[in-house]
Structure 1
C-alpha cells in the first residue's frame, strides 16, 4: 500500500482507497446476496417500473411526447436492424418448418398479428392533432405509407425469425438471440427503452377519454383539478373527492396501474398479446369500424352501393366476432394451462 500511495500521492491515495474499498465491499455483497438470497421474481422488477411509468405518463401535452416517440422509433429500428442481422446470418432451410400451423394455434396467430398491426387507439388522436389532418388519409397519405412499411417489416421479421429458430421460437425473438454476445443482449435494453419512452403516447387516448371527455367537464371549476388529473394519470384505483358526489366520477378506471398489474399477473408475453389482440382489438379495429360506417352512410348511399357496403361490413363483423370469440377462448385456455 505505501508503494501504491507513492504512485498516487497521499490525497488521491486516501480518497481512491476509500472509494475502491467501498466498491469492493458492495461487489462482495452482490455476490453474497446472489448466492444466499432467493432471486427476485420478474414480477418484482415489473413493480419497480411502476413509478417511472407514472412519471412519463404525467406529460400532459401530446407535442411534448413527440420527441419521445421519435427517439423510440429510432431505437426500435436500430434494434430491429441488429435482430435482422442475427436472423439473416443464422437462417436455416425450410426442411423442418411447417407451411401450415396447427388449427388450434391459428387463433393465437390472429390475436398476435392484430395486436401488432392494429393501432386504432393511437391513430385517431394523432390525426386530430396533426397540423394538416387532410394529409393523413388518401392513397399516398401518411396512414397508408406508415402501414405498408410496418406490414412489410413485420412480415419479414416473422418469416425470417421462424425460418431461423423454428419450433424453438420464443414469445419474444430477443430471447432467442445469443446470450453470450453483448450486441445481441443490447437489443433487449434498446427495445425496453423504446417501449418505456413511448408508453405515454400509448396511454394518451385512454387518458384523453377518461380525463378530457369524461371527468374534466365535471371538474372544470374545481380548484384541485390539475392534481386530480395527475392522480388519474397515475392510475390510482379509486379517487374520491367531495365535488365528485353525484357526478358519477367517483370511480376512476386505472390506467398505468392496470397495465403493470396485468403484466405481473400474466408474465407470459405471447399469451397476453394474443389475449389482448383477440379480445379488444378485434372489436375496436374490425367490428366497430364496420358498424359505424354502416350506421353513418345508411341513408346517404343509393341502393347498389348500400348493398355492397352492407355485405362487406357484415363479413367484417362476422370475421371480427369469430376472431374475438375463438381467439379469446384459445388465449385464456393457454393462460390457465400455464398456471397449472
Structure 2
C-alpha cells in the first residue's frame, strides 16, 4: 500500500452539488475508507502500470472484497441498496431545493411543473448514460470501477482516431469543470449563509446590516474550518448538519403549505421566454448530482442493482424529484414573484416569528458546516500539484494551509461580487452544471459507441446530439441572462 493510501490521501473527484459531501464523505468517515478510493481523478502512472501488469479479468462483486488497481484485495464494507438510496437522496438535496420556488417564478406553475419533471427525467437519463458508458469501458479494459474523469479519458481513447490524442486533455477539462463547480458551490454557500444571517439579525434583533457585511462575520470561522486537514474531525459536524437539514426542510414545507393565497394571483401557465433559461439553469443546478453517481455505484455491495427501471438510482431520484416539485410549486404559490433565491428568506418576512428564524439559523448552520466538505474537494483535486511544487517537510504543510487560505479568500471575494443568491445559482447552473449533466455524458456515449454502432438510422447518435444541443443552448442563454442580471444589480 502506498504512502498516500496509508494517509488517506490521493487524487479525487468531486460531489458537485450542495450537500453531496454529506452522502459520500460521511460514508467514508464512518467506514474508514480512503477518500481517493472513491474519487480517483488522476491516478498515478505507476499505479496504472501495476494494474496493467495484473491483468485482472473480473472483479469480485460481493460486499467483503474487491480487487483494486494494484491487484490487492480490499476488505472494506460496501454499502447496501438502502444505504445507497439514502446517500443519493442526501447527495441531491441541498441549497438547490431551496431555490426551486425561484425556478417556478421564472416559468409559471404549469410550465414549471412540467419542466421540472422533464429536467429531472433527462438528468436521471444522463446519469444512466454515464453509468452505462462507465460499465462498458470498464469491461473493455478489464479495469476496476471508473471515476468521472476516468470515463472522460477512456471514452476518447476508444473513440475515432482523430479524437484519441485528446484523451489526456479530456480528463483535464473534466477535472476543470468539476473544480469550477465546487468553487461555485462554495461561493453559493457563503452567500446563502450571509443572507440568512442578515435576515435573522434584521427581523429578530433589529440590526440593520447589509448581506455583504454579514459575509465578513463568517470569514474567520470559514478560514478556521478550512484548515481542518483530517476528514475524521469533520464527522461529528456532518451528523449535526444532517439532522439540522432534515428538520429545517420539514419546517419549510409546513410554512409554504399554510394559508395559501388564491392561485389566480400567481402566474399559472407561463412566465416569459426571457426568463425560461433561468428556470432551466436553476433546475439543472438543483438536479446536478451526476458526479456522485459513479462513486456511489462503485461503493455498493451489489452494483448491478444501481441501474434498471426499479433500481436504486430511479427510486432515489423519484423521491428527490417529488421533493423538488413540492418545494418549488408551493413555494412559488405561497410567495409569488416576491420569492427570493432561498425560500428560507421569505418565511414570515418582516416579522420576528421564532420558527422562521429557527429555520434560517438551522439551514445557515448546516450549509456553513457543509462548506468544509465541499471545500475539501478542490483541495484534493490540486493536492498532488501542491505537494509537487511545495518544499518538503513542514513547509509543505505551510504551503497547503496558505493555499487553503487563498482559496477561501477567492470564494469569499467572488461571493462579495455576486451577492444575489438566485442569480448566482443560475449562473453556476448555466456555466458548469449543464456541461456536466447534458454535454459531457452524451459526448462520452458517442465516442464509446463509435465501434459498436448507434442503432437503426443512427438514432442513438441523433439522440445524444439533441441532448448536447439542449445543454449548449441552455448553457449559453442562461449564462447570458444571468450575467446581464448580475451586472445590472
- TM-score normalised over the length of structure 2: 0.52
| 8 Å contact kept, 2:386–2:399 | no
| 8 Å contact kept, 1:171–1:269 | yes
What RMSD, in angstroms, separates the aligned Cα atoms of the two structures? 2.9
1:71 maps to: 240
Q: Is structure 2 residue 367 aligned with structure 1 residue 216?
A: no
Matches within 5 A, 1:1-340: 40-62=209-231, 64-98=233-267, 99-121=269-291, 130=299, 132=301, 134=303, 137-139=306-308, 142-178=312-348, 179-212=351-384, 214-218=385-389, 224-234=395-405, 236=406, 254=407, 256-299=408-451, 301-304=452-455, 307-338=458-489
TM-superposition CA deviations, 1:296-325 (whole Å, max 9, x none)? 3322x2452793332222111101100110
Q: 1:191 to 1:90 in 2, by over 3 A?
A: same
Distance 2:262 2:437 in 1: 36
| 8 Å contact kept, 1:108–1:330 | yes
CA drift at 1:100: 1.1
| 8 Å contact kept, 1:121–1:205 | no
| 8 Å contact kept, 1:122–1:202 | no
Structure with more relative contact order (C-alpha pairs < 8 Å, separation 6 or more):
2
Q: Secondary structure at the match of 2:274?
A: helix
Q: Which residues of structure 2 form unaligned runs of 5+? A: 1-204
| 8 Å contact kept, 1:108–1:327 | yes
| 8 Å contact kept, 2:297–2:306 | no
Distance 1:305 1:220 in 2: 58
Q: Secondary structure at the match of 2:263?
A: coil
| 8 Å contact kept, 2:430–2:475 | yes
Question: How many residues were matched structurally?
Answer: 281
CA drift at 1:275: 0.8
Deviates more, 1:151-160 or 1:112-121: 112-121
CA drift at 1:65: 4.1
TM-superposition CA deviations, 1:246-270 (whole Å, max 9, x none)? xxxxxxxx3x223211211111111
TM-superposition CA deviations, 1:151-179 (whole Å, max 9, x none)? 21111001011111122222221222112
| 8 Å contact kept, 1:271–1:335 | yes
Q: 1:50 to 1:278 in 2, by over 3 A?
A: same
Distance 1:144 1:60 in 2: 35
Distance 1:58 1:45 in 2: 21
Q: 1:58 to 1:308 in 2, by over 3 A?
A: farther
2:94 maps to: none
Q: Which residues of structure 1 form unaligned runs of 5+? A: 1-33, 237-253
Rg bigger for which structure? 1
